[in-house]
């Protein structure tokens, strides 16, 4: 993003787990939505005064890190609801922002919208996944459902990750959105395709969405290929143990567990491909983290071409045998790796860098402030 004159406009993102990216050696395990806010926060500092409301992890009430002011709210999953509500409102008031942005679940979107209006300021909703418009609204209680619909109709801006999300917002709620894709910084170093070593899986160990057990099934089916599994534990302790046990039983699988966000990039750089077994996604950061290194994505159920201007890019169309065939093809052929890898890296550098994303995001924020 090109340098710009700093304005007095204050933008505050509400994202409790994002604190993990400011203290990367902590036990906090933020996700892709939080990673995007961290990256955007770095890029947008030249144009806005950036604040983030984060969770209570024992830090001071207000801290300043990496050019961003962080305001402590409450302890996720521990404090009672009434305390969470009051702590969130106090943190938002301390930020004293001109516009508040929430990225994620409709439930908290409705709450932060109400608080922003109570504070007499602007509010923007940023979808973080397809489910935010497909299934999550159906899980709200009647009062929150009404408030969420009101928040969309009254929002000063809505940002979708993909054209699909924008079309679903129109269909379900009759509102429009600005499409701003996720972005990432270009890689400085590439590994030659002939030196790639393994097939990589990155994500939280969640059975219903990420489905790492399908990745282990793939490793079992292709014993001649090397596989690396990386990611923090999910919500089910029994499932976490099952995955760890199964990975340890397979000689061609290396289980890294949780990897520091600043150290995961080396694993992408040396991978033959990233394998996605997710059942649903919004705009996966893992895809961007792979493509920047010319590492293609081989995906079971999420079509990577949704994010690459409609180009075919390793989609198995839900067929496990097709996915296995793609893995075997790239393992066998350096030429295929080069064709796949060069294509996705060129597409990434043309449209999905964080500087390009931040430019579009800044335009959406300026529109909301107007």
Confidence band for 312, pLDDT divided at 50, 70 and 90: low
Residue 159 DSSP symbol: E
* pLDDT band at residue 282 under the 50/70/90 scheme: confident
Residue 161, token pair as written in the block: 């990750």
Q: Can you tell me the mean pLDDT for 192-217?
A: 96
Share of the chain above pLDDT 90, in %: 82
- Helix segments in the chain, DSSP class H: 32-44, 81-95, 106-118, 142-154, 163-173, 212-221, 237-249, 265-269, 285-291, 320-332, 334-351, 354-369
Domains of the chain (ranges, CATH numbers): 10-183+353-369 (3.40.50.2000), 193-351 (3.40.50.2000)
In sequence order, which residues have a C-beta less than 8 Å from that of residue 261 and are 6 or more positions away? 20, 21, 24, 30, 35
* 275 touches 215 (CB < 8 A): yes
Q: What is the pLDDT of residue 5?
A: 40
Least confident of 61-65, 307-311, 320-324: 307-311
202, 231 contact by CB (below 8 A): yes
pLDDT of amino acid 73:
95
Model pLDDT, residue 76: 79
Can you tell me the distance from the alpha carbon of 133 to that of 101, in angstroms, rounded to the nearest whole number?
17
**Residue 34, CB-side half-sphere exposure with 13 Å CA sphere:** 19
Residue 82 confidence (pLDDT): 86
Q: How far is CA 70 from CA 30, 112, 354, in A?
A: 15, 17, 21
Give the number of other CB atoms < 10 A from CB of residue 357.
22
- Please give the pLDDT value at position 287: 95
User: Mean pLDDT across the stretch 117-129?
Assistant: 96
In the predicted model, what is the mean pLDDT of residues 277-305?
93
pTM for the whole thing?
Answer: 0.86
Sorted by sequence, the CB contacts under 8 Å of residue 247 that are 6+ apart come out as 216, 229, 253, 255
| Cα(258)–Cα(264) distance, integer angstroms | 9
pLDDT tens-digit map of 24-73: 767 776 677 888 999 999 999 999 999 999 999 989 999 999 999 999 99
Helix then strand then coil, % of the chain, to nearest 5: 45, 15, 40
- 3-class SS at 12? strand
Name every residue whose Cβ is closer than 8 Å to that of residue 219 and which is 6 or more positions away in sequence.
225, 227, 250, 252, 253
> Which residues, including other chains, have CB under 8 Å from residue 75's CB and lie 6 or more apart?
55, 56, 57
């Amino acid at each position: 993003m090109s340098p710009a004159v700093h304005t007095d406009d204050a933008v505050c993102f509400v994202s409790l787990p994002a604190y993990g990216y400011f203290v990367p050696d902590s036990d906090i395990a933020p996700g892709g939505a939080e990673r995007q806010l961290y990256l955007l926060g770095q890029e947008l500092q030249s144009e806005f005064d950036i604040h983030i409301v984060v969770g209570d992890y024992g830090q001071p009430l207000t801290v300043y890190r990496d050019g961003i002011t962080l305001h402590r709210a409450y302890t996720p999953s521990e404090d009672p609801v009434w305390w969470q509500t009051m702590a969130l409102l106090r943190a938002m008031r301390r930020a004293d922002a001109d516009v508040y942005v929430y990225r994620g679940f409709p439930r908290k979107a409705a709450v932060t919208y109400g608080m922003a209006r109570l504070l007499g300021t602007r509010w923007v909703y940023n979808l973080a996944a397809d489910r935010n418009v497909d299934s999550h609204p159906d899980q709200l209680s009647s009062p929150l459902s009404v408030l969420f619909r009101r928040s969309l109709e009254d929002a000063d801006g809505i940002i979708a990750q993909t054209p699909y999300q924008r079309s679903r917002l129109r269909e379900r709620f009759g509102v429009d959105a600005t499409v701003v894709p996720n972005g990432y910084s270009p890689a400085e170093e590439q590994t030659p395709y002939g030196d790639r070593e393994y097939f990589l899986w990155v994500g939280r160990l969640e059975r219903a969405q990420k489905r790492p057990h399908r990745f282990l099934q793939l490793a079992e089916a292709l014993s001649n290929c090397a596989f690396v599994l990386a990611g923090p534990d999910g919500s089910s302790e029994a499932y976490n143990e099952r995955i760890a046990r199964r990975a340890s039983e397979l000689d061609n699988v290396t289980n890294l567990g949780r990897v520091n966000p600043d150290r995961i990039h080396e694993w992408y750089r040396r991978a033959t491909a990233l394998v996605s077994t997710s059942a649903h996604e919004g705009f996966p950061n893992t895809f961007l983290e792979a493509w920047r290194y010319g590492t293609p994505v081989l995906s079971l159920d999420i079509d990577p071409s949704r994010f690459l201007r409609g180009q075919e890019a390793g989609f198995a169309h839900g067929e496990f045998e097709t996915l296995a065939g793609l893995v075997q093809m790239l393992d066998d052929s350096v030429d295929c790796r080069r064709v796949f890898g060069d294509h996705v890296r060129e597409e990434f550098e043309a449209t999905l860098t964080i500087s390009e994303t931040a430019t579009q995001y800044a335009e959406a924020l300026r529109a909301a402030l107007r």
